[in-house]
Chain A
Amino acid sequence: MSRNLVEIVRRHHEVGAPTALAVLKEAVQQRGEITDGDRRRAAARSGLPEAAVHGVSTFYDDLLQPRGRSRHVRVCTGTACFAATADEHVAQISAGLGLELGERSADGEVSLAETVCLGFCHASPAVRDGDVVDAGPGVVARVLAAATQPAAEPAPRSLLADGPELLARGRDWEGLARAVAQLTPAALLEEVKSATVRGRGGAGFPAGSKWEFARDAPGERKFIVANGDEGDPGSYIDKVLMEAHPNLLIEGMALAGYAVGADHGFVLTRSEYPRSKPLLEAAVAQAHREGMLGARVLGSDFAFDITIVEGAGSYVVGEETALLACLQGLRGTVSARPPFPAQRGLHGMPTVVNNVETLCNIPVVARAGAAYYNELSPGAKTSGTKLVCFNERFARPGVYEVRFGTTLRELCEEVAGGLVDGHAIKALQIGGPLGGILPGWKLDTPLDFDALAAEGCMLGHGGIVAFDERTDMRALATHLLRFGAAESCGKCFPCRIGLRRGYEMFAGGAAVDRVKLEALLETLELGSLCAHGGGMPAPIRSLLAHFPEELGLAA
C-alpha cells in the first residue's frame, strides 16, 4: 500500500473528507454508472490523485457493473446456488431478461449482473432485485415477472442451551460492564490470551497475540477493525451476527479497544448484504443512548466509538491488508507483510483486524472468564464454540452454534437433518472456496482446525456446503476456478495469471493434463502472496484425490 496515498487519506479523514470509494459508490447509486466527471469529483472531495481514483473505479464490482434506470438484477453465482441448480438459474434469468451478465438493456432501463454471494445459502438460488433479495423455489419466475419478494432470513440457533454461550445471551453488556469496572486493560488482555480465542475468519491466529502486538506498537492512535467482509460463498455466519446480534459485535469491539488502547473502531460490511450497515448503525446509535459507546463508556474514562463502512464487491478484500486498503477507499489489493496491521494499519496506525465472529466471542470471555470459555468444547483442541451454517441442500439449513470436536456426521445428519428428498452427500466444501472438499465417505472427521487440515480441508469460516450425488465434479472445479480468477486482486503474478490458466484448463472441455495441472497448483500454492492464490488449489487437489475419474483428465 502506498505510504503516500495512506497519508493523503489520513489527513483528509481528519478533516472529515469522504473516501474516494464512498464518493464513487454514491455516484453509481445515483446515476447507474461512473463518468470521468464523477472521478474528478471523487478526487477533489477525497484528496486522492485522479489517477488513483481511476484505479479504484476499475477495481470493485459495484463500480464496474452498469445499472438499469428502473431495475438492476443481480443473480447469485455462489457455491450454494451452484450446488442447488448447477447454475441453471443464471442461464434462465439471462435468457428470460435477454441480457448477458454485466449487460444493460439498450434503452438503459434494465441491467443484469452476477454477485457472489448474497448470503441466502439456506434458500438457494438467490437473486437480488434492487435491494430486495428473493430466494428459493419459484425465484426465477418471480424475477422474470418482476414480482420479487424478500426471502426469509435464517434464524440462528444455539445447541448449547445450558450457559452464557455466544448466541443465547450477550445482549446484556455484562462483559463490558465487568471489564470496565473490575479489570485493567492488561488484565482483560491476559484473560483473552488465557482463553486462547483463535481467529474465526479462517487462519485461526490467536486474537490475544494480535491485540498484544497492537497494544505494544508505538502510535499516536490505535484502531479496532471488524472484518465483516464475509466473502466466502456458502457462508452467512457474520451476516447473521451483524444483522441479528449487532450488540455482541459492538461489545466485542469496545472490549478490544479497552484492552489495546484504541478509541475508535470500524466495521467493514459487504455491499452484498444491504441490511448489515443500516442495522449496525442503528445498534451503534442505541449503544450510544445506553452509554455503552461514546466519550465515557459506562461512566468510566474509557472512550470508544464505532463507524460502519460498506465495501463495494471484491472477495479478496476479506484479506486483512486488502480490507484496510478498502476501508481507506483505495484499491482492495493485498500488501506483503511485514509490516503487519498491528504495526502499521489503518491510516498508518497500529490496528487490530479481527473477524466479526472472533470479536463476538470476546464478551463471553470478559463476562465468564477464560476458564469457563476453555471448557465450552470439552475434549476439543479449540476453546469456545463455533457457528456453522448449512446450505439449502440440507433438510434443516441455517446457522447453528455448536461445540468444537462435533463430527461432521453429527452436524450433517442430526443437526441439519441430512439432505432433502433422500439425496446423498457426495461431498462437502467446508470453510469457503479456499477449503478442500471432503468426500461423503469421510463424514466422521471432527469439526476442528487440525482434524480438517489433516484431510486437506479447513475449518475456514465454518460454512458447510453439501453437493448431492448429481453434482458434476468437473463443473464444480470449473465453477471454483472461474470465481478464483475473477476475484484475483491482480497483484501477485502466480494468482493473477495462474488462476485464469487453471480456469482455462477446465473451461474448454478439453482433456486436462494432470502433470501440468499439478505444476500449476504448486506454483499457486507456494508462489502466491496471500491465501487466495495459495488456497484456491486446495479444492482442486481434493477433487484430484477423490474424484479423478470425473475431471476429464488426459489418459
Chain B
Amino acid sequence: MTMIRIEIDGTEAQVAPGTTVLEAVRALGGHVPTLCFDERQDPFGACRVCMVGVEGAPGPIAACMTPCRDAMKVSTSDATARRVAAATVELVLSELPEPPAAHTELATVARSFGIDGDDLRWPGEQHVREHDERHPYLALQQELCISCGRCVRACDEVQGAFALTATGRGLHANIAAGLDQGFRESTCVSCGACADTCPTDAITEISLLALAER
C-alpha cells in the first residue's frame, strides 16, 4: 500500500489512504475540537468545529470529513479556522436557554475556545424548554439538543434500533424518539448509547440515585 505523506503543524507523518485529517491529527497526539464526531460512528460533518487550515486551500476545511492528500500541510492553529470554529460554538451557545453543564463536551469545547457564554455576539431565539421523562431510565431535554446527530447515529449504526430521528429544519431542528411519543412508545431497547454519546446532556440516563432522590 502506498502511504500518503502529510505535514501537521510542522510534523511530517505517513498515513494510509482514506485516513481523514482528524484521524491523522489525533494519531500524532494533536488536538482538534469536535462536537458531532464520535469515533464509533461514521463522520457526519455537521458541527464545523473541527476546522483546520490547509496550505494553499481557499478556506479552512472540516478535518473529520476530509481525506488526507499527499503533500498536504495542515495547521490546527490556523487563525481563520479557529475564528470560524469559535464563532460556530458561540452560535451554538446562543440557541440554548441555559449554559451547558460544566462536565459536558459542549462546555469543555466552549472553554477551550475561551467562550464563557456571557457576552454572545449574536443573541436571538432559543430552544423552548420541553422535558420528556416518561421513560424509566432515559430523560430527554429538547432545549439542550444541538442537532449533532450523535444519538440518532448511535441508535442507527451502533445499536440498530432506529428509535431516534432528526426532526424539523433550520433553528427548529431537534430530535424525537419514535413518533415523538417518547422512548417508551418507540423501538428503543434502553441501551443508553444515545445518552452515552450526547455532548450536551439533552439525553441523560436517570440513575438509581437520582430516582431515590425524587
Contacts and interface: CB of A to CB of B under 8 A. Distances in A.
Is A bound to B?
yes
Interface of A: 2-5, 36, 39-40, 49-55, 58-59, 314, 331, 333, 335-336, 338, 485-494, 496-501, 504-505, 516, 519-520, 522-523, 525-529
A53 B149 CA distance: 16
24 contacts: A2-B153, A2-B156, A4-B157, A51-B162, A51-B179, A51-B187, A54-B165, A54-B176, A54-B180, A55-B166, A59-B169, A487-B170, A491-B149, A492-B48, A493-B46, A493-B147, A494-B84, A499-B170, A500-B125, A501-B94, A505-B122, A516-B122, A522-B83, A526-B59
Interface in B129-162: 146-147, 149, 153, 156-157, 160, 162
A222 B91 CA distance: 41
B97 to A, nearest CB: 14
B110 interface: no
A78 to B, nearest CB: 18
B173 to A, nearest CB: 3
Interface in B32-89: 35, 42-49, 51, 59-60, 62, 65, 67, 80, 83-85, 87-88
Interface hub of B48, B62, B146, B147 (most chain A Cβ within 10 A): B48
A50 B186 contact: yes
A493 B43 contact: no
B179 A490 contact: no
Nearest to B125: A500
A497 B80 contact: no
B187 A50 contact: yes
Contact of A39 (B162, B179, B186): B179
Interface string B1-21: 000000000000000000000
Contacts of A333: 166, 169
Contacts of B160: 4
A508 B100 CA distance: 28
Contact of B168 (A59, A499, A529): A59
Contacts of B35: 493
B101 interface: no
A523 B89 CA distance: 11
A59 B174 CA distance: 11
A340 B172 CA distance: 28
A322 B166 CA distance: 15
A331 B121 CA distance: 31
A523 B47 CA distance: 12
A437 B149 CA distance: 35
A484 to B, nearest CB: 9
Nearest to A49: B162
B87 A58 contact: no
Contact of B91 (A331, A489, A501): A501
A333 B149 CA distance: 12
Interface residues of B, number: 56
Chief secondary structure at chain B's binding surface: loop
Closest A-B pairs by Cβ, 3 of them: A490-B173, A336-B45, A55-B165
Contacts of B177: 51
A203 B87 CA distance: 27
B162 A527 contact: no
Given A493-B146, A526-B60, A485 B176 contact: no
B170 A527 contact: no
A52 B87 CA distance: 31
Given A40-B179, A49-B162, A51-B186, A500 B170 contact: yes
A5 B156 contact: yes
Nearest to A51: B165
Contact of B170 (A5, A36, A485): A485
Contacts of A525: 59
A336 B169 CA distance: 17
A497 B166 contact: no
Contacts of A53: 179
B107 to A, nearest CB: 16
B201 interface: no
Nearest to B167: A58
B87 A519 contact: yes
B45 A529 contact: yes
Contacts of A50: 178-179, 186-187
B114 interface: no
Contact of B172 (A487, A490, A499, A527): A490
A187 B45 CA distance: 38
A527 B167 contact: no
Contacts of B23: none
A115 to B, nearest CB: 16
Nearest to A491: B46
B92 interface: yes
B48 A52 contact: no
A527 B169 contact: no
Nearest to A505: B122
A493 B92 contact: yes
B171 interface: yes
A52 B162 contact: yes
A487 to B, nearest CB: 7
Contacts of A51: 162-165, 176-179, 186-187
A107 to B, nearest CB: 27
Contacts of A485: 170-171
Contacts of B62: 336, 529
A4 B44 CA distance: 14
Contacts of B171: 485, 488, 490, 496-497, 500
B87 A523 contact: yes
B95 interface: yes
B173 A54 contact: no
A504 B160 CA distance: 40
Interface hub of A51, A58, A497 (most chain B Cβ within 10 A): A51
Nearest to A495: B170
A336 B85 CA distance: 17
A489 B45 CA distance: 14
Contacts of A501: 91, 94, 122, 124
Nearest to B172: A490
Contacts of A335: 45
Contact of B48 (A36, A486, A488, A528): A528
Nearest to A5: B156
A522 B168 CA distance: 26
